[in-house]
Structure 1
Amino acid sequence: MESIEALIAHIQGLSASVEDISHLHNLLKLAEESLQSVAPRLSSFLGQLDPAKHSLGYLYILEAYTSAPIAREHPSEFLVSISTFISSCLAEQIRLAPDKFVSVCKRFKDQVLLLQEPLRGIAPMRTAVQKLQSSPEHLTALHPDFLLLCLLEKSYKTGLGILKEDIFEIDQPRDFFLYCYYGGMICIGQKQFRKAMELLHNVVTAPMPTTNAIAIEAYKKYCLVSLILNGQFSTTLPKYTSSVAQRSLKNFCQPYVDLAYSYSSGKISELESCIEINKEKFESDNNLGLVKQVVSSLYKRNIQRLTQTYLTLSLQDIANTVQLNTPKEAEMHVLRMIQDGEIFATINQKDGMVSFHEDPEQYKTCEMIEHIDSSIQRIMTLSKKLSAVDELISCDPAYLAKAGRERQRFDFDDFDTVPQKFNL
């Protein structure tokens, strides 16, 4: 145990300056095996360190300690110790060993799930994400775990906060798939279908060498959200989608493709028949609630079509035309659509007539101007980032060498303009 005690002394003495931290990091790397060998007994050593001052050393000890099985009587103590460390640690130190920090945080998340107390993990994991991020645009390995906890707790608004940031840096493809999938589900929970569709679209069209389960599940929800938001779904994916996704995704999701086809008929009876046939599949996928919203959206689409033909219409006629059972049901649908801004109408309760109006928006209010300006600023920022990435790629020797080889194969007329040699 003397070597561990000596290591603790090094941690206490070498955690102040950048040079000392670098030296300490080398010592910690060399001590990894010995730390693992005494993992169950490291708890007492953690008490000798301050997580706010000795963050890097504390992280190495904590990671080794948490690698051992947790005693059944100590799960709460385990969560408290990691939660305290996450809130106290210095970001600049833990980023020197990001894999260990991620490992500790994932064990924390696993224990929270084992106890079925996702709420306990949400705030610490949000802090962990912020400390691990090099910038707000950086997607860490902890983003999906944080979103999963928000989903399980149904704390959708908390999850939305992290989804507002535009992501441009990604460490691992799987993290991106899960981030967009869980993020899409959170947006669905808040009925923010446009953002949900954007995130699910990212999963479906992302590069993938082989079909993966996340993309398949995302495709199912992507189909349903597309029907709710746009009233249609195309099985033809954009050209930049991987050939694997183009070929196989819809084959794994045939009931959903059939649902979209039934929806396109505009007939509630056809849609409900398709749902009844595939009900077990939708239930096993945990998508039946979303499927019911698809049915509701078809009623809305059919009512919206009436506004393009009629100026006034009775609730009874609306019910008959869109296949609702009673005028009262028609009234409830129309009221919800008016409240959501999906149609512009007034209902005369006395005679049961609905009068449809034009969109009153003149696009000249201060709020609308601010909204347009915000959209323009975001597009300009994105344009600058794309230009920077394009410039970076165009100067990358590996890219230039590959581009030169490809051009030699396919573009003989311009061959002379391709550099023959590169100083790599």
Structure 2
Amino acid sequence: MEAVEKVVAQIQGLSGSVADLGQLHHVLKQSDELLRSNSARLGPFLDQLDPSLHSLGFLYLLDAYTSSPIPREQANEVVLLIARFINSCLAGQIRLAHDKDQVMVLEAPIRGVAPMLTAIRKIRPSSEHLTTLHPDFLFLCILAKFYKTGLCVLEDDVFEVDQPRDLFLYCYYGGMIYIGLKRFGKALELLHNVVTAPMSTLSAIAVEAYKKYILVSLIHLGQFSSHFPKYTSSVAQRSLKNFCQIYLELAIRYSSGNIADLETFVQGNKEKFEADNNMGLVKQVVSSIYKRNIQRLTQTYLTLSLEDIATTVKLSSPKEAEMHVLQMIQDGQIHATINQKDGMVRFLEDPEQYKTCGMIEHMDCSIQRIITLSKKLTAVDELISCDPLYLAKVGKERQRFDFDDFDSVPQKFNI
């Protein structure tokens, strides 16, 4: 244990200045294996350090301390220790050890949500930067069912990403949070980013995202197109469908509008959907087909009785039809009124005239975001255009295809 005591002494002596922190970071990286081999005995040494002064060293010891299984009786104590460190640590020090920002759930995800959010705000250079903690935070929010808390980071525009895997997980977990909030349009955006992101080998995250993308498309749009955008990687275009055959078959059954056939298919593949933890979404797909069939009726009829709707859409009773219609009116999926006396439904036109103050403000906000994005893209384009590695690669490629504007002048022939 003398070696560990020496490391602790160096942490206490080299945490005072920026110049010393570089040397301390080097020492800690060299001592990482030593600390992990003594992980079970690091508790007393942590008590000797102040996380608000010795943040970098405290982080290395804490990471080593939690690298081995924590006994159940100590779990609450360790959670409090981690929370105390996150709340009091110095952002400038812990950013040096970006490879150590890991979360410990310890069967108490609710208790980790707030400290994790604090940690993200401390270590990220700006709100536009995606850190390795973002996916962990969103995962905690899902485990704790704190979906609205996840919006704290999901509503930030992200332009800087360090690791591709972080982006995949961020979009996948973010899509799950939006699904939990029934905001299927936003969920589609994030799942679409996972499926179409550049990849050299097929990612398991992309496969799971594609399954949910199919289901959410059916729920939100009432249809699914199996054609990939042109910018999708060739790996994804070749392989994704092979791993999602029953989901593609589900989409085909859905498009037919045959409710009985769809329900039979779902029951026949129930175990597979449950194994993927997607049975809840599949049930919403089945429920949504009733709504899609009701929406089709609005394109044909101006008025229709609840009894006729129930018969046409294959619902069990006019009362069930009424509940579906009321829910669709509340969600803004259709515009209609129900006459309770005679049970007649009158379908109406969309009342939105797109000239209210709220709509104008919404459009202005969208335009400002597009302008900001355009400026970001221009800045990135200029940065890449000046990058020596990019210019060197482009130069090599150009040599293969760069020909003179004119053919060489033919030799003069004597006639």
Instruction: Give SS of 1:70's match.
Output: coil
Residue 293 of structure 1 aligns to which amino acid in structure 2? Q
Residue 17 of structure 1 aligns to which amino acid in structure 2? S
2:227 to 232, 236, 242: 236
Residue 280 of structure 1 aligns to which amino acid in structure 2? E
Contact 1:224–1:291 (CA under 8 A) maintained in structure 2:
yes
1:134 to 125, 148, 155: 125
Q: Are positions 1:383 and 2:384 aligned together?
A: no
Q: Are positions 1:181 and 2:172 aligned together?
A: yes
Distance (whole Å) between structure 2 residues aligned to residue 415 and residue 181 of structure 1: 53
1:309-354, Cα deviation, whole Å (9 max, x unpaired): 2211111111122221211111111100111111111100100101
Alignment size in residue pairs: 407
Instruction: Give SS of 1:347's match.
Output: strand
Distance (whole Å) between structure 2 residues aligned to residue 218 and residue 233 of structure 1: 14
Range moving further from structure 2, 317-326 or 32-41: 32-41
Instruction: Give SS of 2:156's match.
Output: coil
1:261 to 252, 256, 264: 252
Indicate the residue corresponding to 2:99 in structure 1: 99
Indicate the residue corresponding to 2:80 in structure 1: 80
Distance (whole Å) between structure 2 residues aligned to residue 7 and residue 364 of structure 1: 67
Q: Are positions 1:167 and 2:158 aligned together?
A: yes
Indicate the residue corresponding to 1:307 in structure 2: 298
Q: Structure 1 residues 76, 272: CA separation in 2 closer, same or farther (over 3 Å shift)?
A: same
Q: Are positions 1:50 and 2:41 aligned together?
A: no
Residue 227 of structure 2 aligns to which amino acid in structure 1? T
Q: Structure 1 residues 44, 256: CA separation in 2 closer, same or farther (over 3 Å shift)?
A: same
Indicate the residue corresponding to 2:412 in structure 1: none
Range moving further from structure 2, 119-128 or 233-242: 119-128
Distance (whole Å) between structure 1 residues aligned to residue 405 and residue 227 of structure 2: 34
Contact 1:223–1:233 (CA under 8 A) maintained in structure 2:
yes
Contact 1:138–1:169 (CA under 8 A) maintained in structure 2:
yes
| Aligned ranges 1:17-416 → 2 under 5 Å | 17-100=17-100, 102=101, 105-106=102-103, 108-109=104-105, 112=106, 116-410=107-401, 412=403
Distance (whole Å) between structure 1 residues aligned to residue 386 and residue 406 of structure 2: 19
**How many Å apart are 1:292 and its aligned residue?**
1.6
Q: Structure 1 residues 410, 57: CA separation in 2 closer, same or farther (over 3 Å shift)?
A: same
1:16-39, Cα deviation, whole Å (9 max, x unpaired): 332233343344344445444544
Q: Structure 1 residues 343, 93: CA separation in 2 closer, same or farther (over 3 Å shift)?
A: same
Unaligned 5+ runs, structure 2? 408-415
Q: Structure 1 residues 295, 38: CA separation in 2 closer, same or farther (over 3 Å shift)?
A: closer
Distance (whole Å) between structure 2 residues aligned to residue 205 and residue 349 of structure 1: 48
1:271-300, Cα deviation, whole Å (9 max, x unpaired): 223323322222222212211211222211
Q: Structure 1 residues 326, 174: CA separation in 2 closer, same or farther (over 3 Å shift)?
A: same
Distance (whole Å) between structure 2 residues aligned to residue 308 and residue 56 of structure 1: 64
**How many Å apart are 1:154 and its aligned residue?**
1.5
Instruction: Give SS of 1:355's match.
Output: strand
Contact 1:200–1:222 (CA under 8 A) maintained in structure 2:
yes
Distance (whole Å) between structure 2 residues aligned to residue 281 and residue 30 of structure 1: 47
Distance (whole Å) between structure 2 residues aligned to residue 87 and residue 57 of structure 1: 16
Instruction: Give SS of 1:96's match.
Output: helix
Distance (whole Å) between structure 2 residues aligned to residue 82 and residue 155 of structure 1: 20
Instruction: Give SS of 2:266's match.
Output: helix
Q: Structure 1 residues 414, 8: CA separation in 2 closer, same or farther (over 3 Å shift)?
A: farther
Range moving further from structure 2, 167-176 or 386-395: 167-176
Unaligned 5+ runs, structure 1? 417-424
Range moving further from structure 2, 285-294 or 17-26: 17-26
Range moving further from structure 2, 316-325 or 181-190: 316-325
Residue 76 of structure 1 aligns to which amino acid in structure 2? N
Q: Structure 1 residues 271, 70: CA separation in 2 closer, same or farther (over 3 Å shift)?
A: closer
**How many Å apart are 1:191 and its aligned residue?**
0.4
Q: Structure 1 residues 297, 67: CA separation in 2 closer, same or farther (over 3 Å shift)?
A: closer
**How many Å apart are 1:83 and its aligned residue?**
1.6
Range moving further from structure 2, 195-204 or 136-145: 136-145
Q: Structure 1 residues 255, 411: CA separation in 2 closer, same or farther (over 3 Å shift)?
A: farther
Distance (whole Å) between structure 2 residues aligned to residue 11 and residue 159 of structure 1: 35
Contact 1:407–1:415 (CA under 8 A) maintained in structure 2:
no
**How many Å apart are 1:231 and its aligned residue?**
1.3
Distance (whole Å) between structure 2 residues aligned to residue 414 and residue 214 of structure 1: 48
Distance (whole Å) between structure 2 residues aligned to residue 414 and residue 166 of structure 1: 45
Residue 210 of structure 1 aligns to which amino acid in structure 2? T
- Identity of matched residues, %: 70
Distance (whole Å) between structure 1 residues aligned to residue 231 and residue 127 of structure 2: 26
Q: TM-score, normalised by structure 2?
A: 0.92
Residue 321 of structure 2 aligns to which amino acid in structure 1? A
**How many Å apart are 1:57 and its aligned residue?**
2.2
Instruction: Give SS of 2:316's match.
Output: coil
Range moving further from structure 2, 171-180 or 325-334: 171-180
**How many Å apart are 1:181 and its aligned residue?**
1.2
**How many Å apart are 1:393 and its aligned residue?**
1.2
Instruction: Give SS of 1:313's match.
Output: strand
**How many Å apart are 1:261 and its aligned residue?**
1.0
Distance (whole Å) between structure 1 residues aligned to residue 227 and residue 383 of structure 2: 32
Distance (whole Å) between structure 2 residues aligned to residue 156 and residue 413 of structure 1: 60
